[in-house]
Amino acid sequence: MNNRILVTGGAGYIGSHTTIALLQAGYDVVIADNFSNSERWIPDRISTLSGHVVQCHELDLRNHAATLECLHQVRPDGVIHFGALKSVGESIANPLHYYQNNVTGTLNLLDAMQHIGCNNLVFSSSATVYGYPDRCPISEDAALHAINPYGRTKLMMEQAIEDIGTSSPGFHAAVLRYFNPAGAHDSGQLGELPRGAPNNLVPFVAQVAAGLRPEVKVFGGDYKTPDGTGIRDYIHVMDLAQAHVHALEYLRDRKQGLVVNLGTGSGYSVIEIIDAFSRASGRQIAYQITDRRPGDADACYADPSLAEKLLGWRASRGLDTICADAWRWQIHLQQN
Ligand code: UFG
């Protein structure tokens, strides 16, 4: 594999941070994004922060002909596929939209890759494929069980990718199951851009700390955890970004695929996140314990040892860095 990489969804939250890591590792990166959940200034910001020019194609993966045309033009040696929708609640309210974007879009991309003979894929999957985990920490051989349309789209695409690998021995995919990405670039100039009220905990807490929202609603105080609130594995987005660089190296050097968890191995409760964010921001963060959110598990954290063994990667930034970087980004958003 040479070094031209197409990053679908490269203007999104994880995609933009990964593009910076790729550019800094010497890859020639082309972004393809439909900007449905990202901003048009992001590619320029990536270029500024990385010190390297990034090309950008506006592309909607649901358009098969346009996807084929884009792949023919770019001729990537590998593809990292982030371009998908990711809100569980939205997927329950509008499943067709999720199947169209996450399933049809991915199948169009895989078809276009086959057309041009591009055999290296890094696929963004999610710990959501474990459903309600039967044990923690979760290793990759845990039972797979999607419990909502979003999760089903990820699981279906993992299976499609596995089938393609079986039928095309030259095709290799790194399937990366993310736990809870959080934090921001340490410059404070790039981070997550939630539209409307954030669904995820860390950006919501950041907005409460900033005085944009009155309080955090803690979804459930009676989980089977030490303080009764849900436990998750929060991983810094730049650690996650670095794992993608390692995954490309693995595909290039080993010429085989893999499926790995990307998490830290440590779980924190909702209350612990609020406390850590309060320390990082120096602000009081009001919260109220409310009803459980349907579909949430008590605890979900990774066994990250396979990623360390196969990729030689492990997360290096802890919860305090996640909160400090998310806070710096929140302040930047308010000043600009
Ligand atoms: N939570 C609150 N209040 C909020 C938001 C979240 O108490 O306002 C709690 C949740 O109940 C949960 C924890 O904070 O215990 C984390 O919730 P997030 O919504 O931030 O993250 P999830 O673990 O629910 O979801 C994440 C990804 C999904 C993915 C899922 C499973 O966002 O895409 O992990 O891997 F499907």
> What is the per-residue pLDDT for 282?
98
Q: For residues 258 and 175, is the Cβ–Cβ distance under 8 A?
A: yes
Which residue's alpha carbon is at the smallest distance from atom 18 of ligand 1?
200
Could you say which architecture CATH assigns to the domain 201-231+266-304+320-335?
Alpha-Beta Complex (3.90)
Q: Is 232 in the pocket of ligand 1 (CB under 6 A)?
A: yes
**pLDDT tens digits, 101-136:** 999 999 999 999 999 999 999 999 999 999 999 899
Residue 1 pLDDT grade (very low, low, confident, very high; cuts 50, 70, 90):
low
Residue 178 pLDDT grade (very low, low, confident, very high; cuts 50, 70, 90):
very high
Q: State the Cα–Cα distance between residues 104 and 98, nearest whole angstrom.
A: 9
Which residue's alpha carbon is at the smallest distance from atom 1 of ligand 1?
201
Q: Is 199 in the pocket of ligand 1 (CB under 6 A)?
A: yes
Domain spans, the chain = 4-183+233-265, 201-231+266-304+320-335
CA of 255 to the centre of ligand 1 (A): 35
Map residue 283 onto helix, strand or coil: coil
Map residue 288 onto helix, strand or coil: strand
| Ligand 1 atom with the shortest distance to the CA of 200 | 20
Distances (CA, A) of 180 to 74, 86, 136, 232, 240: 31, 12, 15, 7, 10
Which residue's alpha carbon is at the smallest distance from atom 14 of ligand 1?
201
> What is the per-residue pLDDT for 2?
65
**pLDDT tens digits, 33-42:** 999 999 999 9
Residue 336 has pLDDT above 90, yes or no: no
Read off the pTM: 0.98
Which residue's alpha carbon is at the smallest distance from atom 26 of ligand 1?
180
| Ligand 1 atom with the shortest distance to the CA of 297 | 15
Return the active site residues. 150
| Ligand 1 atom with the shortest distance to the CA of 296 | 11
CA of 148 to the centre of ligand 1 (A): 14
Residues 6+ apart with CB under 8 A from 242: 21, 313
Q: State the Cα–Cα distance between residues 125 and 237, nearest whole angstrom.
A: 15
| Ligand 1 atom with the shortest distance to the CA of 270 | 14
Q: What is the mean pLDDT of the chain?
A: 97
**pLDDT tens digits, 68-93:** 999 999 999 999 999 999 999 999 99
Q: Is 219 in the pocket of ligand 1 (CB under 6 A)?
A: yes
Q: State percent of the chain over pLDDT 70.
A: 99
**pLDDT tens digits, 292-320:** 999 999 999 999 999 999 999 999 999 99
> What is the per-residue pLDDT for 134?
87
Out of 1.10.1060.10, 3.40.50.720, 3.40.50.1100, 3.40.50.300, which CATH number does the structure's domain 4-183+233-265 have? 3.40.50.720
> Once rounded to an integer, what is the mean pLDDT over residues 162-177?
97
- Same fold? 4-183+233-265, 201-231+266-304+320-335: no
Amino acid identity of residue 205, one-letter, is: V
Residue 221 has pLDDT above 90, yes or no: yes
Which residue's alpha carbon is at the smallest distance from atom 21 of ligand 1?
200
Q: Is 293 in the pocket of ligand 1 (CB under 6 A)?
A: yes
